[in-house]
Amino acid sequence: MAMPVHNADITVIFDAIADLLEIQGANPFRIRAYRNAARILGDLPQEARVLLERGDDLTRLPGIGSDLAAKVGEIVATGHCSLLDRLRKELPPAITELLKIPGLGPKRVKALYHDLDVQTVEQLQRAAQDGLIRALPGFGAKTEQNILQAVQAHASQSRRFKLATAAQYADALRAFLQEIPGVQQVVVAGSFRRMRETVGDLDILVTASPDSPVMKRFTRYDEVAEIFSSGETRASVLLKSGIQVDLRVVAKQSYGAALHYFTGSKSHNIAIRRIAQQRGLKINEYGVFRGAQRIAGDSEESVYRTVDLPWIPPELREDRGEIEAARAGRLPRLVELSDLKGDLHAHTRASDGHDSLREMAHAARALGLEYLAITEHSRRLTVAHGLDPQQLAKQCDAIDRLNTELKGITLLKGIEVDILEDGSLDLPDAVLARLDLVVGAVHSKFGLSRASQTRRIMRAMDHPHFTLLAHPTGRLIERREPYDADMLSIIRHAKQRGCFLELNAHPERLDLLDSQCQSAKEEGVLVSIASDAHSTFDFANLKYGVGQARRGWLEKSDVLNTRTLDELRKLLKRTM
C-alpha cells in the first residue's frame, strides 16, 4: 500500500519551496503563491488526496492554479516534488533548519549564508558566540543576543503538532490498524484524546487476537521512517512527518486500565492513584489490584468505580478540579458537536472567503445547522478586501433575497468589524444598526500595553451595536503569542454589558483558551463556538472548537449557538 499523503505533508513541501526560493532571491510573487497555497491546503479540512481520488478539480480551490494543482497531484502520487528536489540540490541541505529559529526569516538566513557561510544551526550558534553576526547590516548586538537565546531555546524544545495536523496522521493510522486481521479495538489515547491544542506524540492502544499480525504490520506501515523498538506487545516508531507513535497491544481485561493510564494527564493519574492507595489499592496500566488480585480494569468506568468516582471525560483530566467535582456529583455534562444549531462567524468571497453566499448556506445546512451568520471583514482590513458601508448594504440586500429562497437554514446579517486603537468600531452606527449581529475583532496594534489593550476592547464592547468579541486573545498557535490584555476583566465587562465571547475553532487559533472558557462559564458569559469559515470545507473545524469548549468545562447551556434561531434572536436583540 502506498503511503498516504496528507495536506500537512503538501504544506511542508510548499513552505519549503517558498523558503528556498526566498533564500535564492526569486520573484516575490512566485514565493507568495507557494506560501498562499501552503496556507490554503493547511487550512483545508478535507484531504487533497481524497479530492483528487474522486475527480475534483483542485483549481477550484482559491489560489491554486493549474501549475500548483499539478504539483499537488505529483506530491500525492509520488510523495515528493521535483522542484523541491532541485532547489535542495542548489542550496546546502541543512539551511532550512535555520528557518525554525524564532526571529530568522528567509531574508536573514540569506544574509547569514552569503556573508558568513552559515549553513547549520551549530554554525549559527558559533557565529553568535563569536560576535560575528552583529557586524552584518540590519542585525546588531541585540539581534545577535536574541538569536543566541533562540538557538538555545530551540535546542531544548521537543516538537509538537497542532491537533488538526496530528489528526490527519492519527485518523489514517487508526483506519490502517483497524483493517489488520484479528484487531478488535483501536483507540488513540494521550493528549490527542484529551483534545489538547498541540500533540507531542501519538499513543495508540489495540486489543487483538493472539495470532494477529498487528505488530509486524504496524512497523511496516509505509509512513514509518524509523523503528525505535519492536516487541510482541509494544512498538515505537517515528513517522516521516516527525511524529512519534507508540503502539501497545493490551489484554481485554486490562483495556480500561491501559486506556486510563495512557490517556493521562500525568497529574490526573497521580491524583487517582493517590486516592486508590488510601484504600489499599494499586492502579497501573494492567488493572486495579488489591494485593495480587485484579479487581477492575476491563473498562475505564470500572477503574473510576474502585475509587467511588463516576467516569470523567478525557478533556477534563488535567487535575484542575475535575476529581472534586466528580466526588461531589457536579461534573458538567459537556457540550457535544450535535448540540450546535448554528455558526456565528463565516466569510464569503465578498471579502476574503472563497465561496458564495448560497454555497456557504448549503454547506452549513448539510451539516445540520439551522442558521449561519455571514460576517465579512470591515473596510479597515484592506488585505482581506473588507467591506465599506455601501458594499455591506448590498450584501445585506443579497442575504435578504436569498433567505426568501432557502429552505432549512437562515442566513444572518453580520460583520467582523475592526476594533480600532481607541476602541471605536470601523463602520458607522447607521450601517451597524441594520445587522443581526456585530462581531468585533482586534486585527492590529497587538503591542499595546496591557492597560491600553484592555481599555480598547472594553470600550468597543460598550458600543451599542457590539454583539460578541472574536478570537479574544489574538493568538496564533506557535506563530503569535496572545496580546497582553486582562482577560478576566474583559469577561466580567462582557457580563456587565450583556455581550458574548467567541471560541474561534480554527485549528491555528482555538481562541478562547480552555481556562478562559472556564472563567466565562463561572461569570455567566455565553460563548459562541464559531468556525470562522472561509470556505465550505471549514465548517469541519467546528469539532476542534467543541473539543476546546469541553476542555473548558462548557455545557450546552453555556454555548450561545446551541440556541434555536428564535432563542438566539431574543438574546441578540439585548445587545443591539
Half-sphere exposure of residue 450, counting CA atoms within 13 Å on the CB side? 6
- What is the secondary structure of 134-174 as a DSSP string? GGSTT--HHHHHHHHHHHHHHHHPPP-EEHHHHHHHHHHHH
Q: 437 and 516 share a domain?
A: yes
What are the pLDDT digits (tens) for 248-306?
999 999 999 999 999 999 989 999 999 999 999 999 999 999 999 999 999 999 999 99
Is residue 156 scored above 70 in pLDDT? Answer: no
Q: 175 and 294 share a domain?
A: no
Closest CA to 339 of 471, 538, 499, 527: 527
DSSP SS3 for 365 = helix
Question: Which of 249, 266, 283 marks a domain boundary?
Answer: 249
What are the pLDDT digits (tens) for 5-23?
899 889 989 988 998 898 8
Bridge-based pairing state of the strands 371-377 and 342-343: parallel
d(CA 198, CA 182): 32
Going by pLDDT thresholds of 50, 70 and 90, the confidence category of residue 357 is: very high
Q: 82 and 208 share a domain?
A: no
Torsion of CA 165, 166, 172, 176, to 10 degrees: 170
Q: 130 and 225 share a domain?
A: no
What are the pLDDT digits (tens) for 505-531?
999 999 999 999 999 999 999 999 999
Average pLDDT over residues 208-213: 95
Q: Kindly give the interhelix angle for 7-24 and 106-116, rounded to the nearest 10 degrees.
A: 50
DSSP SS3 for 514 = helix
Q: 320 and 347 share a domain?
A: no
Question: Which of 282, 303, 327 marks a domain boundary?
Answer: 327
Assigned domain for 379 exists: yes
Q: 540 and 444 share a domain?
A: yes
Asked if residues 61 and 44 have their Cβ atoms less than 8 Å apart, the reply is yes
Q: 501 and 365 share a domain?
A: yes
Across the chain, what does the average pLDDT equal? Answer: 92
d(CA 389, CA 393): 6
**Burial profile 154-185: b = 16 or more Cβ within 10 angstroms, e = fewer:** beeeeebbbbbbbbbbbebbbebbeebeebee
Question: Which of 233, 249, 265 marks a domain boundary?
Answer: 249
> Bigger pLDDT: 538 or 120?
538
d(CA 9, CA 74): 12
- Adjacent-strand bridge partners of 161: 199
Asked if residues 95 and 113 have their Cβ atoms less than 8 Å apart, the reply is yes
Domain holding 351, by residue range, is 337-575
Assigned domain for 2 exists: no
Q: Which long-range contacts (CB under 8 A, 24 or more apart) does 67-71 make?
A: 68/14, 68/33, 68/34, 68/37, 71/14
CATH of the domain at 218: 3.30.460.10
pLDDT score at 157: 63
Lowest mean pLDDT segment, chosen from 31-45, 289-303, 463-477 = 31-45
Count other Cβ atoms within 10 Å, centred on residue 559: 24
Asked if residues 382 and 374 have their Cβ atoms less than 8 Å apart, the reply is no
Half-sphere exposure of residue 323, counting CA atoms within 13 Å on the CB side? 18
What are the pLDDT digits (tens) for 380-427?
877 778 999 999 999 999 999 999 999 999 999 999 999 999 999 999
Q: 434 and 487 share a domain?
A: yes
> Bigger pLDDT: 240 or 526?
526
Q: How many domains does the chain have?
A: 4
Task: Give the Cα-Cα-Cα angle 261, 541, 555 (nearest 5 degrees).
Answer: 65
> What residue type is 36 in one-letter code?
N
Q: Which three cell numbers stand for residue 417?
A: 468589524
Asked if residues 146 and 103 have their Cβ atoms less than 8 Å apart, the reply is yes
Task: Give the Cα-Cα-Cα angle 65, 70, 76 (nearest 5 degrees).
Answer: 125
CA distances 519 to 147, 355, 456, Å, are 37, 36, 20
Assigned domain for 1 exists: no
Average pLDDT over residues 165-181: 95
Say which residues have a Cβ less than 8 Å from residue 43's Cβ, sequence separation at least 6: 506, 507, 508, 534, 538
Q: Kindly give the interhelix angle for 542-551 and 163-178, rounded to the nearest 10 degrees.
A: 100
Q: 541 and 476 share a domain?
A: yes
Asked if residues 499 and 461 have their Cβ atoms less than 8 Å apart, the reply is yes
Assigned domain for 207 exists: yes
Going by pLDDT thresholds of 50, 70 and 90, the confidence category of residue 187 is: very high
Q: 84 and 228 share a domain?
A: no
d(CA 520, CA 526): 7
Assigned domain for 239 exists: yes
CATH of the domain at 295: 3.30.210.10
Whole-model pTM: value is: 0.81
d(CA 536, CA 523): 34
Assigned domain for 332 exists: no
Q: 173 and 133 share a domain?
A: no
Assigned domain for 308 exists: yes
Backbone phi and psi for residue 78, each to the nearest 5 degrees, phi listed first: -115, -15
Q: 122 and 261 share a domain?
A: no
Is residue 66 scored above 70 in pLDDT? Answer: yes
Q: Which long-range contacts (CB under 8 A, 24 or more apart) does 379-386 make?
A: 379/426, 379/427, 380/418, 380/420, 380/426, 380/443, 380/444, 381/351, 381/418, 381/443, 383/352, 384/351, 384/352, 385/350, 385/351, 385/352, 386/351, 386/418, 386/426
Assigned domain for 560 exists: yes
CATH of the domain at 25: 1.10.150.110
- Adjacent-strand bridge partners of 434: none
CATH of the domain at 382: 3.20.20.140
Q: What is the largest CA-CA distance in the chain?
A: 77
Asked if residues 250 and 206 have their Cβ atoms less than 8 Å apart, the reply is yes
pLDDT score at 299: 97
